[in-house]
Amino acid sequence: MIRSYAQLMIYFLIQTIASFIILVFYLYDLSILITLAFVLKLSIFPFFIWYINVIYRLPNFIFWLASTLHKIPPMLIIKMFSLNLNYGLVWSSILFTTFLIGFIIMSVYDFRMLLVLSSIGNNSWLILRQIVHMLAFVLYITVYSLCLYFVILSFGSMSKFSTVKSLSLGASNLSFWVLTLSGMPPFPLFYCKILVIMTLFFSLGPNYIFVVFLLFSAFIFIAYLKSLMKYYVYSHSVGLSYFLKY
């Protein structure tokens, strides 16, 4: 518990420092430094290592907040105050985040770490949606927040089950929300991603960027599928004793 409070204090301290930097350099209109602070606040490349170490140990509800609702204020700040961001640096950070997380996530078997890495990868999608249209951003963050909430809720409730029937029902709920969170068609998150890809396609034309994001989506889907398969193998072999570190 003490360790969780320490991690929580580190998280809010870094977020406060990033917000202070944005405020100070906004007054002086220093776009590169504002962009770096924005990247730090959203925990994307090159500032995502601290996020992994901190967020992994937080309680489930705080983890959900940090992965969803806490992403809204930075996007609103950009929109409302028309921050002068260096979009070359933003695009580079988005692409490197997508590329690195896509490869790292393929070697992860711990379900909680998978959710953390997926959260970092989805930050890139959130920025793209904010660039494309604010309505697309609101739609995506709403769907993603609901999916992540029910994944955590389904998994947490399964640890209380004591019957095979209850385990089967819990596994079905968990599978549905995990596949939704992975962006698998025909689940809602898939259409949110397609909406952004199509909007960017019509505004920018054919571009290698789309290949990178589609490849990342495939990687994250495979990682979630591997995690589900691992869960089913262990649950049927050792019963109720395997709960993916929850």
pLDDT at residue 191 in the model: 85
pLDDT at residue 51 in the model: 92
pLDDT at residue 195 in the model: 81
Residue type, 110: D
Distances (CA, A) of 34 to 73, 76, 88, 200: 15, 15, 13, 24
In whole angstroms, how large is the CA radius of gyration of the chain? Answer: 19
Mean pLDDT in each 10-residue stretch from start to end of the chain (246 residues)?
Answer: 74 91 85 89 88 88 90 83 81 87 84 88 81 78 90 64 44 78 83 80 72 80 81 58 45
pLDDT at residue 192 in the model: 83
Q: What angle do CA 143, 180, 139 make, to 5 degrees?
A: 15
CA 63 to chain centre: 11
Nearest CA-CA partner of 94 in 33, 62, 48: 48
Cβ neighbours of residue 132 closer than 8 Å, sequence gap 6 or more:
196, 199, 200, 203
pLDDT at residue 245 in the model: 46
Query: What sign does the CA torsion over 134, 137, 143, 146 have?
Result: negative
